[in-house]
Structure 1
């Protein structure tokens, strides 16, 4: 196992253990999490593996096999990718928990820049390791909260809790219905293969610079709209038409997306419960149009991925993740998967764009301790 060998080579000792946390893809419920709304993600079969041992001092020694870099850090001088694992130490200590330092080696196979939440996977893998190493006895939802705090207040990214909760709570063969206000969750069976379907991830392999600061701006616009409407969050808007009459500009558009996206999550759950899995594609299409036109977080590469996937025979498609690049998802009948890939690849080639890459996503399990063989 690569991470085990690298740990022994780096620190001249064996690790105390090996831990794993997955990335995620969001089926529907985009930009609703920080509006106290509903989301329906699932864990993907790619993630972050981490070997670690505790230290007697508070030094944090980190090596990343992906970046090829190694660092010794403290809470005061963490930078770059090291902010994500170091932030977990900071958040645990802030809560008064007895966490010292650690020696850590990190490995992973989440495609870079695909919007599959490698940062949350790294945070949650660190959290489950420290939970075991220091016998903290925190449950998975506690760990997700700790990791969100680390990303918000230490790494400086104002994300909701969806990514961390998915990495911590996911169950194989299920999507996670998460209420981002109460943090109540329910595992929803999601077996596409039983219906002759698969979910194709289309990685655009682009990330636009315009994304810098845009996530925080969208969040602020939502908060401003909620304040203007006199509700705690856009989740609480019950009469959309009346709300839209009181708003204008960006706040009006953001509100329309968030409220209708929550409705789409509920509608999709209803279809899954009814066994009408083949019918969910229309909701994916509607979600993309709303993200493109109302929330304004799409980009030409995502739009072309969605449009050409539909032309190739996909039952539904939408961008997934924060936007401005990253990935789209397409619901496809298994026998049409090659046609969809060909259609998207041809559309990119016609425009002279970098070729997209494709992955098939199946719901995987959440964070856990592994044995030394990676099981």
Structure 2
């Protein structure tokens, strides 16, 4: 068996030693204990395009889930920091459970069901999990959780033969059909493959994937995620509306998704569409078409080393999300507009330099900012004064694919 090994650095080793201790305390012994990790992801471009078969640019990051795992029979039992009781899934009962909607146990059940549906082997395990990916932050803690669970089943029971894209598809199905959250495939692929990826979902069952390299730190910049401390809870209807409104526009042209709509037909048909779908749906479609092109332009800027153009496109993406996609304020929110406030504070601080945009699904959670390294401490202090001392994270790209980690 070929084992997809990941190097153990000093920080990971310390975390795993703590996890091993927790595991012994929870389960009595740590015989045969194995270690796994799965990264979060940051979306670099392609905001809300994947679910309409669009293009995206994303990167796996160094904030990650780590797990100490021991095989067992008949049940998956996972104890995660922040939860008092372990999540348990009996492997003879893998149908969706409505009572679990929106809870991590639904993802475990859905991933195991996805393996079983495809004829892959499944088996039980016990795990203790620690996460540095903030929940509800737009860094894809749910996708990382799905990929972690899939990677464990893949390694323990399938000799690592399930490829990273299939792991991603299984995770997406679990999130859509068990967890109850509509999502595209970008998050799971990014977490599964590692590095920076450009993904084209024109054919979603066989996405085209390109690996890219970009070292913004070498160019004098830090990529920051600002946690505005607003959370994703109870925003499923806002997320669903984006997808459904884009689909509604596509259906006016006889298609299910916007990627299959001819842009010229869309632009010439806007006047007649206003009463059929409403202005917001049209604006969201405009965002989709223009964001798709921006992804291509940003990939070109990366490949040609034109970082100034790259930053300009990041800013344009941010304005499009705010003005056209309209995913920076929850529906009806008056007092809580933390995403917009974070963007406003960042733009004032930067004085025309750098770039910022809403990050991930939007409405709550995080913004993304490219900040010159020489002013990063001052920027962090400015942000902390408003959103708290632990509100800013500087991200590094994780280049490793998911796999077992060896001590």
User: Is the shorter-chain TM-score for this pair beyond 0.5, marking a shared fold?
Assistant: yes
Cα deviation digits, residues 115-160 of structure 1 (max 9, x gap): 1111111110111110011125111111111111111111111110
* 1:370 matched to 2:386: no
* 1:179 matched to 2:200: yes
Structure 2 residue corresponding to 1:12, chosen from 3, 24, 28: 28
Is there any run of 5+ residues in structure 1 with no aligned partner, and where?
none
Specify the alignment match of 2:167 in structure 1: 143
Across the aligned residues of Structure 1 and Structure 2, the Cα RMSD in angstroms comes to: 2.1
Is 175-184 or 252-261 further displaced after alignment?
175-184
CA distance in 1, matches of 2:36, 2:81: 15
CA distance in 1, matches of 2:377, 2:388: 19
Structure 2 residue corresponding to 1:330, chosen from 366, 369, 376: 369
Matches within 5 A, 1:55-70: 55-57=72-74, 59-70=75-86
Q: TM-score when scaled to structure 1? A: 0.90
* 1:95 matched to 2:132: no
* Structure 1 residue 24: Cα displacement: 0.7
Specify the alignment match of 1:288 in structure 2: 318
Matches within 5 A, 1:260-299: 260-299=290-329
Q: 1:165 to 1:322 in 2, by over 3 A?
A: same
Matches within 5 A, 1:297-316: 297-299=327-329, 300-313=337-350, 314-316=353-355
Q: 1:209 to 1:132 in 2, by over 3 A?
A: closer
CA distance in 2, matches of 1:202, 1:15: 39
Matches within 5 A, 1:186-201: 186-201=210-225
Is 276-285 or 236-245 further displaced after alignment?
236-245
* 1:221 matched to 2:245: yes
* Structure 1 residue 16: Cα displacement: 4.5
Q: Number of residue pairs matched? A: 363
* Structure 1 residue 40: Cα displacement: 0.6
Structure 1 residue corresponding to 2:130, chosen from 107, 132, 157: 107
CA distance in 2, matches of 1:154, 1:138: 21
Is 47-56 or 82-91 further displaced after alignment?
47-56
Is there any run of 5+ residues in structure 2 with no aligned partner, and where?
1-16, 330-336
- SS of the residue aligned with 1:321? coil
Matches within 5 A, 1:334-373: 334-345=373-384, 348=386, 357-365=391-399, 366-372=401-407
Q: 1:342 to 1:354 in 2, by over 3 A?
A: closer
Is 87-96 or 239-248 further displaced after alignment?
239-248
Whether the 8 Å contact between 2:88 and 2:105 is mirrored in structure 1 is: no
Whether the 8 Å contact between 2:284 and 2:325 is mirrored in structure 1 is: yes
Specify the alignment match of 1:24 in structure 2: 41
Specify the alignment match of 1:251 in structure 2: 281
Matches within 5 A, 1:41-60: 41-57=58-74, 59-60=75-76
* Structure 1 residue 342: Cα displacement: 4.0
CA distance in 2, matches of 1:206, 1:356: 14
* Structure 1 residue 161: Cα displacement: 0.5
Specify the alignment match of 2:19 in structure 1: 3
